[in-house]
Amino acid sequence: QCEDKQGHYWFISLAGEVIEYDPNSKVAVKHVKGVIELPTNILCSSDGIVWVSGSHEDVAAVSHFDGHGWTREVHPMLQDHISYLSAIELTSGDMAFGGGFEFYSKPGGMAVYSKTGNEYTVSYVSSPQVPARIVGLAQTDPEQIWFSGGMLGNIGLPDFDETNYVEEFKVLWYDHI
C-alpha cells in the first residue's frame, strides 16, 4: 500500500500482517514486534517513517517504524479503532488519525502526530471541534482539513480552530472524501 524511501513495498496481508517487500532481493519480511494487532491502513510518510493504524487489544492504535524498530501507541480517547480512510499526512508533515464511535461516552476525534527533531508528540482534537467519530480525512489546501462520518466539515490549520460544518446536504452519513 506504500513504497518507502529505500524502494521497499509495504502492505497489509490478507491475514492482517504487516509485510515489507524488497523488490531487488525479492525478500519479504513480516513485522511483528511493536506492530498493532489489527492494522487497517499503512502509509509511508515523506520523512521516511512507515505508519500503521487500526487497533490493538480493542483500543485505537498507531505504530510507526523508523527503519530500525516499531513504536506502538494506543489511543483510548479515540475509542476502539482508527478508520482505514482517516489516516493522512498533512502538508505540514504532521500525521492525522481519526477515530471514535458516535455512541460512546468518550470524546473520540483525531490524534495528530507532530515531529520536533527526531521525536513525535501527540495531540488530540476532539468533539465538538470535530465529530466524535471521524471516518475520513482529506486536506484540500495547507490551511484546512476536511472530515467525514456522521457529519461533513472542515477545520482550520495549523491550530485546529475555526470548525465549519456543512449543513445543506440532508445526508445521515458521509463516507469517502
Mean pLDDT for each 10-residue chunk of the chain (177 residues)? Answer: 95 96 97 95 95 95 95 93 92 91 72 90 89 89 89 89 81 76
- Looking at residue 158, its pLDDT comes to 87
- Looking at residue 133, its pLDDT comes to 86
- Looking at residue 161, its pLDDT comes to 86
- Three-state DSSP class for residue 78: helix
* β-pair partners for 148: 136
CA–chain centroid gap for 10, Å, is: 16
Cα separation, 128 vs 109, whole angstroms: 9
- Looking at residue 102, its pLDDT comes to 61
